[in-house]
Amino acid sequence: MTPPDQPMMAVVEAAFFMSKILIFREGPIMDNNEKGDETKAMERRRFLKLGGTAAVLSAAHAAFPGGAFAQGAGPEVKGAKLGYIALTDASPLIIAKELGLFAKYGMPNVEVLKQASWAATRDNIVLGAGGGGIDGAHILTPMPYFLTLGTIGKTTPMSILARLNVNGQAISVEKEYLQAKADLNAGKMKGIIAKRRAAGNKITMAMTFPGGTHDLWIRYWLAAGGIDPDKDLELITIPPPQMVANMKANTMEAFCVGEPWNDQLVAQGIGYTAVSTGQMWMNHPEKSFAMRSDWVAANPKAAVAITAAVIEAQRWCDNPANLAKLCQIVGGRDWFKVPVTDIQDRLAGNFNMGDGRSFKNAAFKMKFFAANASFPYKSHELWFLTENQRWGKLPAGLNTKSVIAKVNRSDIWRKAAALAKVPAAQIPKGESRGVEKFFDGKVFDPGNPAAYLKSLAIKRV
């Protein structure tokens, strides 16, 4: 009996996965691990019978651009375990899984696993997939730095492979503050805060993880309005999906979190959105896609492949023609379990702030790929580190250049973008987006972060 042709079998396997991608348009796909060996064999035979060798080769070529079937050219592994939190900016990982994009780039066994909180994400990354945890995640951009530096637990070197989005977070306030009309100007709340404190009441506001993006946005907003986030109130940590329930239970006066939870708060009539974070800093960096550095070092080709799938998913997510499908998938029972409108309105740029203000097709809406949203600028990483130095969460003497060089893997992003056939015009030439300007007139020059810190009135350094 003649042994099977291994290269040809690899092509057949790839084409089979490509057929699953195409079938997605007509209905849900069963993962391979849900089927018995006999069922899988029957499907392969049926696929070959229907399509023939030419169809197999054509599908394989479409499935793996850039010659992924050349001898030794494919990823070192077929899968990885990735975490996500129920936030709209996790969409690229979800879509890459649902549309078969991980499989397209030779990673059919990638799992996208729900995490209960950012603390759970941290703990599972420290464990690693080999210890029952995960290899990487949709993550708050400062967290890979905290893990690498060992400031939030066991030192676990991390690699940021892509940014997942810009904009799309918000600061929401309970109804009691409607009379203050707090918006970009948090200072409008000072009178109510002072009155409540004088009566012996504690002022509590929430974010999702100390030193994370939501912590930094609410701190910046409060401080710009003359409110000290450490002295005038207490900031507590609440997981994103629990924000609305805690506001309903009067646990806090305000919170900062990503969508869809701010929109859901307004839809339920519990409070209103004071500000969407893109109004504070237009097209600001937000979540990242990061993996354990030891996984990346062991599987460099797989790291590029998995990042290429994420990039392609980001481009798909940004296409207005895909908006309804995106929201249907992400809001569905397999992922967020929320009404589609809680996701779709603000993702489309239509903001009902809940206090009479509304915006249509707002420029500050979430973007996944437009405005270079996917590229992990090193200048943005520097801002996150500088802000955490501002609040005493990182040492003032930290060698930021050195740690950014370890964590930021824009080189992998560039290789992945080429694999995903991103046009050259859409690939940033440098590692810095340049000088950044904020709503309160402050300026962050990546070449002089000390000047930025000096310009801030409320800080811990």
d(CA 99, CA 316): 10
Q: Return d(Cα 102, Cα 98) in angstroms, integer.
A: 9
DSSP assignment of 13-35? HHHHHHHHHHHTTTS----GGGS
Average pLDDT (248-252) is 94
Angle at 299 between CA 297 and CA 304, to 5 degrees: 100
CB atoms within 10 A of CB 70: 10
CA distance 424 to 432: 17
User: Residue 276: phi, psi to the nearest 5?
Assistant: -90, 140
pTM over 0.75: yes
Strand segments, DSSP code E, in 56-120 are: 81-84, 111-114
pLDDT at residue 79 tops 60: yes
Mean pLDDT, rounded, for 142-150:
98
Judge whether 311 and 416 are in contact, CB under 8 Å.
yes
> What is the distance between the alpha carbons of residues 278 and 169, in angstroms, rounded to a whole number?
8
- Work out the end-to-end distance of the chain between its first and last CA atoms, rounded to an integer number of angstroms: 75
Q: Hey, which residues does 137 pair with through a beta bridge?
A: 83, 290
Per the CB < 8 A criterion, the answer to whether 225 and 177 are in contact is: no
The percent of residues above 70 in pLDDT, for the chain, comes to 84
- Residue pointed to by tokens 């993880």: 209
- What is the C-alpha separation between 340 and 324, in angstroms, rounded? 8
Q: Rounded to 5 degrees, what are φ and ψ at 359?
A: -135, 140
> What is the full DSSP assignment across 362-418?
-TTS-BSSGGGTTS--HHHHHHHHHHHHHTTSS-TT--HHHHHHHHB-HHHHHHHHH
pLDDT at 13 over 70: no
443: β partners = 437
Cα–Cα distance, 410 to 273 (Å, whole number) = 34
H or E, element range at 161: strand 158-163
pLDDT, tens only, 41-54: 444 443 333 343 33
Give me the amino acid identity at 445: D
What is the average pLDDT across 73-89? 97
pLDDT value for 282: 98
Average pLDDT on 411-419 reads 98
Residue 111 neighbours by CB distance under 10 Å: 16
Q: Residue 176 has what pLDDT? A: 86
8-state DSSP, 219: H
d(CA 164, CA 373): 7
pLDDT in tens, 266-296: 999 999 999 999 999 999 999 999 999 999 9
CA–CA separation, 257 and 2 (whole Å): 60
| CB-CB neighbours of 14 under 10 Å | 25
For the stretch 302-331, pLDDT in tens is 999 999 999 999 999 999 999 999 999 999
Task: List pLDDT tens digits, range 429-447.
Answer: 999 999 999 999 999 999 9
Q: Pick the closest to residue 407 from 90, 156, 122 (CA basis).
A: 156
State the Rg of the chain over Cα. 23
C-alpha span between 21 and 23 (Å, rounded) = 5
Does the structure show a pLDDT above 70 at 404?
A: yes
- 6-10: long-range contacts (C-beta < 8 A, 24 or more apart)? 7/69, 7/71, 10/69, 10/74
Residue 56 has pLDDT above 60, yes or no: no
Instruction: Read off the pLDDT of residues 157-207 as tens digits, 9 standing for 90 and up.
Output: 999 999 999 999 999 999 988 999 999 999 999 999 999 999 999 999 999
What are the φ/ψ torsions at residue 167 (nearest 5 degrees)? Answer: 65, -170
Q: Which residue has the tokens 């109804």?
A: 175
Token pair recorded at residue 449: 């972060």
Assess contact for 172 and 183: CB atoms under 8 A: no
